[in-house]
Amino acid sequence: MVTARRPLIAGNWKMNLDHLQSIAFVQKLAWNLKDAKHDAATVEAAIFPPFTDLRSVQTLIDADKLELELGAQDLSDNDSGAFTGDISGAFLSKLAVKYVIVGHSERRTIHLESDEVVASKVAAAHRNGLVPVVCVGETADDLEKHGPSAVPVAQLKAALAAVPSSAEIVVAYEPVWAIGSGQAATPDQAQQVCAALRATLVDLLGADAAASTRVLYGGSVKASNIASFMREPDVDGALVGGASLDITEFASIIRYQNHVGV
Ligand code: 13P
């Protein structure tokens, strides 16, 4: 069975834009997409603002019926209790958040999140009705020592250890060396690893689930290179950092199907 995968362009704002800035940004982004007659049925667009912006953005999306999905950048692996500073998946769910990034390399590095913690957060997302965007990717050192796919594949196996095969997930392949460096992977490199990740999904979840799961590429994605990634058969979208903070640039990435030569 061939399953059509709706491309997903996701903007991870990281720790940028306060709630007032986020409202202005989302309004302008929505106008830009509307002016350009963007059809969300062909390409899904999602934004991942900081926690403190979520309520404001959710209210705006709701009130104006914007065709933008909302995601969070992290969640706790616990649902409630004495976990100062943590955010429950149950709270995110109440805010109509659809997606949550889990295991971003910045959390693995700065907050020392292990594969076990990532797996537990993936399970918490699923338990609370959120779709985890599971991030995997190798460092430059890993690439040299183990080649391109070994570390991302091992991270994916570990991350999915505690969820049923029916759980909806999104996978994001983000080579650490490409994040914020301006040096994106080549489309061929991205395809190679995304194909290896999909083959891993076949083993873990079965062929149908693997065929319908979106695998994104992330790392220095821009309007000028998105179309070349999206031509690859196993790349189903992008997780965009820096370029998602520029309205015109991000709207252009979302509208990659309209780019000349695609
Ligand atoms: P850049 O697009 O800034 O390289 O960041 C990628 C990223 O980390 C998205 O999660």
Ligand 1 neighbour 244 (Cβ under 6 A): no
Ligand 1 neighbour 242 (Cβ under 6 A): yes
Which of 79, 43, 14, 29 shows the shortest CA–CA distance to 251? 29
- pLDDT of 261 reads 54
**46, 71 contact by CB (below 8 A):** yes
CA distance 49 to 51: 6
Q: Whose CA is nearest to atom 9 of ligand 1?
A: 241
Q: How far is the CA of 134 from the centre of ligand 1 (A)?
A: 14
Q: How far is the CA of 95 from the centre of ligand 1 (A)?
A: 25
- pLDDT of 260 reads 58
CA distance 64 to 211: 34
- The residues carrying an active-site annotation are 104, 174
- For residue 111 the two structure tokens come to 């907050």
- pLDDT of 152 reads 98
- pLDDT of 180 reads 96
DSSP summary character for residue 185: P
Binned average pLDDT, 10 residues per bin, the chain of 262 residues:
82 98 98 96 97 98 97 98 98 98 98 98 98 98 96 98 93 98 97 98 96 98 97 98 98 91 52
End-to-end CA distance of the chain: 26
Helices (DSSP H) in the chain: which residue ranges?
A: 19-35, 54-64, 89-94, 105-110, 115-127, 140-146, 150-159, 187-205, 207-212, 226-230, 247-254
The CATH number corresponding to 8-168+180-257 among 1.10.390.10, 3.40.50.170, 3.40.50.720, 3.20.20.70 equals 3.20.20.70
Ligand 1 neighbour 149 (Cβ under 6 A): no
Strands 69-72 and 214-218 turn out to be unpaired
- pLDDT of 3 reads 57
Q: How far is the CA of 241 from the centre of ligand 1 (A)?
A: 3
- pLDDT of 172 reads 98
Ligand 1 neighbour 75 (Cβ under 6 A): no
What are the residues whose beta carbons fall under 8 Å from the beta carbon of 64, sequence distance 6 or more?
27, 30
pLDDT tens digits, 171-185: 999 999 999 999 999
Which of 108, 176, 107, 185 shows the shortest CA–CA distance to 139? 176
Ligand 1 neighbour 174 (Cβ under 6 A): yes
